[in-house]
């Protein structure tokens, strides 16, 4: 039951907050500098923080056009799992692959459109649960990530995702609701396996800290000192699914802060400068947007991907389209509630090109 002791729960919408600090510093990897727990002497110490309630402030939204893909489908959706690992990864940036505008892309394959493989998509209300793993005491960092997800379904960017549908022509619609935000302070140390990612979700569910919902995406978000199996080597983030004892299939995504481990591979374009002068977190939100796309239009890795096995966000990976310069000279392409973001485009299955929305 060590888990309950170490878990910090932020039901950010309405509830008060319980914090238990942990000094669980074992398993740290010494090859790179790591951030020490800021309160190593605090054990089982409860603090109260004031958390702003979730408010959905207006953002600049232009047209909302509804599209129906030109597909004729008749039978019921069927779930088939693709690949041995069943991970939909966001690959690292490849400096050898540049788009015409000079921006960096990894997989941007305009030669082929994306194909539908009869699997299910996430349509209708989609809940988002954030599990901050590690040191997430910086509220500005949480704010960058949460503001995007609190407003994403009203952005032009989201319209491209709404062009994807399932076998019975049911499109992805949203709404997207960030309903739970909690913090886990190193219950599995600072070096995680992929199984640990699932364990972290399971533990929150088993203790009724998070609800078990098939229409949700569980994000495990690790701080920059936390290492993960394959992170910064095979991927910047990934999405996948697992089965609960109740047989419910849950969709989850892991994204790490790459600032100290591979900023050049996972940053949002430039590894030295980013819209909020936080290369790690600004990079994370781009990867999280990538994984949001693919969790929704390919949740079981059986729906939308191309002949090379690339999911829709892979086809526009690190491709940001038209960008502007922030005051610090960083590129950005989106403003949500006064926060600047540089978020990759998504593949538009109708026009067969990367699309930022309009």
Q: Which is nearer to Zn ion, 259 or 314 (CB)?
A: 314
Query: How far is CA 131 from its chain centroid?
Result: 11
Tell me the HSE value of 43 on the side-chain side, using a 13 A CA sphere: 4
Q: Is 135 in the site for Zn ion (CB under 5 A)?
A: no
Q: For Zn ion, which is the closer residue by CB, 8 or 128?
A: 128
Least CB distance to Zn ion at residue 240 (A):
11
Nearest CB to Zn ion, comparing residues 213 and 294:
294
Taking the least distance from each CB to Zn ion, the nearer of 259 and 311 is 311
Whether the CB-CB separation of 214 and 122 falls below 8 Å is answered with no
Q: Could you tell me the smallest distance in angstroms from the CB atom of residue 19 to Zn ion?
A: 34
Residues 44-63 close enough to bind Zn ion by CB under 5 A: none
Nearer to Zn ion, 306 or 311 (CB): 311
Stretch that binds Zn ion, among 134-142, 164-172, 258-266, 294-302 (CB under 5 A): 294-302
In the complex, least distance from residue 352 CB atom to Zn ion, rounded to whole angstroms: 18
* Contact with Zn ion (CB under 5 A) among 185, 225, 306, 314: 314
Tell me which residues in 77-106 interact with Zn ion (CB under 5 A): 90
Contacts of 124 (CB under 8 A, 6+ apart): 173, 174, 215
Q: Which residue number, 123 or 346, has a Cβ lying nearer to Zn ion?
A: 346
Q: Which residue is nearest to Zn ion (CB)?
A: 314
Beta carbons of 289 and 298 less than 8 angstroms apart: no
CA distance 49 to 34: 25
Q: Which two tokens stand for residue 60?
A: 């600049």
d(CA 231, CA 78): 31
Q: How far is the CB of 331 from Zn ion (least distance, A)?
A: 21
Q: Which C-beta is closer to Zn ion: that of 9 or that of 90? A: 90
Query: Nearer Cβ to Zn ion, position 90 or 198?
Result: 90
- Name the region of 246 (left: φ>0; alpha: ψ -120 to 50; beta: rest): alpha
Q: Which residues pair with 249 in a beta bridge?
A: 243
Segment interacting with Zn ion (CB under 5 A) among 109-117, 307-315, 318-326, 331-339: 307-315
Residues contacting Zn ion: total by CB under 5 A: 5
Residue 312 CB neighbours (<10 A): 27
Coil, helix or strand at residue 346 = strand
What residue spans of the chain are helical by DSSP H? 2-6, 139-151, 156-161, 194-206, 259-266, 279-297
Q: To the nearest whole angstrom, how small is the minimum distance from the Cβ of residue 197 to Zn ion?
A: 16
CA distance 33 to 39: 18
- Least separation in angstroms between residue 238's CB and Zn ion is 7
Stretch that binds Zn ion, among 39-47, 76-84, 289-297, 329-337 (CB under 5 A): 289-297
Of 30-38, 64-72, 244-252, 291-299, which segment contacts Zn ion by CB under 5 A?
Answer: 291-299
Sign of CA dihedral 272, 183, 155, 159: positive
Residues that bind Zn ion (CB under 5 A): 90, 294, 311, 313-314
């Amino acid at each position: 039951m060590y888990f309950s002791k170490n878990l910090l729960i932020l039901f950010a919408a309405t509830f008060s907050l319980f914090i238990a600090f942990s000094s669980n510093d074992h398993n740290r990897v010494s090859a790179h500098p790591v951030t020490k727990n800021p309160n190593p002497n605090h054990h089982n110490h409860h603090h109260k923080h004031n958390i702003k309630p979730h408010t959905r402030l207006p953002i600049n939204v232009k047209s909302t056009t509804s599209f129906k893909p030109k597909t004729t489908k008749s039978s019921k959706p069927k779930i088939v799992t693709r690949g041995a690992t069943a991970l939909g990864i966001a690959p690292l940036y490849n400096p050898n692959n540049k788009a015409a505008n000079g921006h960096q892309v990894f997989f941007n394959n305009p030669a082929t459109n994306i194909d539908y493989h009869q699997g299910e998509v996430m349509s209708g209300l989609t809940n988002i649960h954030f599990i901050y793993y590690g040191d997430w005491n910086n509220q500005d960092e949480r704010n960058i990530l949460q503001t995007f997800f609190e407003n994403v379904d009203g952005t032009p960017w989201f319209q491209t995702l709404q062009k994807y549908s399932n076998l019975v022509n049911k499109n992805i619609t949203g709404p997207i609701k960030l309903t739970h935000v909690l913090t886990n302070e190193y219950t599995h140390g600072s070096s995680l396996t992929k199984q640990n990612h699932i364990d972290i979700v399971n533990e929150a569910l088993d203790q009724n800290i998070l609800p078990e919902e098939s229409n949700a995406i569980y994000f495990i978000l690790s701080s920059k000192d936390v290492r993960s199996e394959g992170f910064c080597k095979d991927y910047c983030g990934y999405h996948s699914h697992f089965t609960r004892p109740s047989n419910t299939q849950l969709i989850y995504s892991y994204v790490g802060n790459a600032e100290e481990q591979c900023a050049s591979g996972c940053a949002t374009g430039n590894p030295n400068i980013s819209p909020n002068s936080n290369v790690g977190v600004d990079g994370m939100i781009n990867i999280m947007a990538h994984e949001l796309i693919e969790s929704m239009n390919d949740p079981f890795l059986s729906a939308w991907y191309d002949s090379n096995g690339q999911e829709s966000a892979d086809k526009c990976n690190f491709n940001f389209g038209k960008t502007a310069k922030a005051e610090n000279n960083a590129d950005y392409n989106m403003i949500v509630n006064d926060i600047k973001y540089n978020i990759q485009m998504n593949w538009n299955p109708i026009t067969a090109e990367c699309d930022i929305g309009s």
